[in-house]
Amino acid sequence: MEPVAGRKLYVVTQTSEAAAVARQPPKPGRGSRIRVHRAWFVAAVTFVTIIGAAAFRSVPGLLIDPLHDEFDWSRGTIGAAVSVNLALYGLTAPFAAALMDRFGIRRVVAVALTVIALGSGLTVWMTAAWQLMLCWGLLVGLGSGSMALAFAATVTNRWFTERRGLVSGILTAASASGQLIFLPLLSWIVERHDWRPAAVTVALAALAVVPFVWLLLRDHPADVGQKPYGATEFVPKPAPVPGAARRAVTVLFSAARTGPFWLLAGTFAICGASTNGLIQTHFVPAAHDHGMPLTTAASLLAVIGVFDVVGTIASGWFTDRFEARRLLAVYYSLRGVSLLFLPLLLVTPSVQPPMIFFIVFYGLDWVATVPPTLALCREQYGEDSAIVFGWVLASHQVGAALVAFLGGVARDTFGSYDVVWYASGALCAVAALMALVIRRRGAGVEAMA
């Protein structure tokens, strides 16, 4: 007869083996399906959301000439309203990232889209420049700031531990996809039916995305009982973090004591100056100055959006495999060289092959800087990286705001945009050098006094 102790040991061993088997994920076989991780559905909803919100980003460059003709406002005045919008787009981002930690992603994004729709819709009744500042500058700026790339960074950090570079590239490309979808349509509306129907279209596009956000977006993998994609352990949902504004400011002061923060902020300010502030705001009116039809110039800007999608996703793939500092240096160098040639390409109203080459080249490099910049923020600042990136994005938009305003002033003063193209090209060379100076985390980053 077998001893009782032996039977107990056998039962315990058998139970442990069964528990271990139960913890194993089921192997796909006949009658079973390979389930797609919920993180990819969240990323898809985020992609669609950013596309819908990107409609407002297609409008500023299309409004400069119509508003100048109708209200006789100077291009500097209109550029000032655009600069307020761009500055708030960046300055709101870190606070929005902290608010997402406090109230959840879904609530913050739904409110932001509603504010964008309100600000865009109210512009149809404006009669004075201060109303443009209020509606398009303040309201749309605040709403769009909550939909900035800090939103993409928060989703990526919470839902993914692998493929972060690729996912951040895809979500960044969503903004360009929105430009691709809306810019030709909005330019056609402006040319055929005036600018007011275009503003209403933007408002409706933002509102249309709200139900998708509310019904399909989730704040954290723990909400659906899953681990982040690529994680080996379950991550519990953190408790809401009170004092969103205080935390955003505290993280800023902490990061501002380190050298990499200022280098990242400086390079990204030049990135914003040479994209949103320069090309997106002033390319269409600059091309129109040389006789190019509005729809043609807007279509070229949309083509930039096409290749931006390819370039940004490829940049995310590269970021998972190559050193982010060197990628940034290459991107800024190539962008600066291309800007130096742009004045030579704008001398004719027709679209020549060199102009097409510039559009394709610039599109591939448009926001390819985002995935490596995000990766460097994660490397340097860990759990606070989304908020730090929000502040870095704020510098991006401050740079964009300055050039949006100064570009209009330069056009009023010199009668052309040539000086702005050359100055921006030189700044990109500076950004390339700054990127190479950023120290790796393991090298011992020195705190600044």
Is residue 383 a contact partner of residue 72, using CB atoms and an 8 Å limit?
A: no
Residue 127 falls inside a structural domain: yes
Residue 3 falls inside a structural domain: no
Residue 210 falls inside a structural domain: yes
* Listed ranges 86-90, 181-185, 314-318, 326-330; the one with the highest mean pLDDT: 326-330
Q: What value does the mean pLDDT of the chain take?
A: 79
Question: What's the rounded Cα separation, in Å, for the pair 212 and 438?
Answer: 40
Output the domain CATH number for residue 376.
Answer: 1.20.1250.20
Q: Enter the tokens of residue 186.
A: 């909005």
Q: What is the mean pLDDT of residues 215-219?
A: 80
When divided into structural domains, the chain yields a total of 1
pLDDT above 60: residue 395: yes
pTM of structure: 0.66
For 261-271, the pLDDT digits (tens) are 999 999 999 99
For 408-427, the pLDDT digits (tens) are 888 888 888 888 889 999 99
For 3-52, the pLDDT digits (tens) are 544 444 444 444 444 444 444 444 444 444 557 788 888 888 888 877 76
Residue 257 falls inside a structural domain: yes
Residue 19 falls inside a structural domain: no
Residue 26 falls inside a structural domain: no
Residue 365 falls inside a structural domain: yes
Range of the domain at 105: 36-441
Residue 1 falls inside a structural domain: no
Question: What's the rounded Cα separation, in Å, for the pair 171 and 191?
Answer: 31
Q: Which amino acid is at 199?
A: A
How deeply is 215 buried, as exposed, middle or buried, from its count of CB atoms within 10 A (0-12, 13-18, 19+)? exposed
> What's the distance, CA 47 to chain centroid?
11
Q: What is the mean pLDDT of residues 147-170?
A: 79
Residue 91 has a pLDDT of 78
Residue 435 has a pLDDT of 93
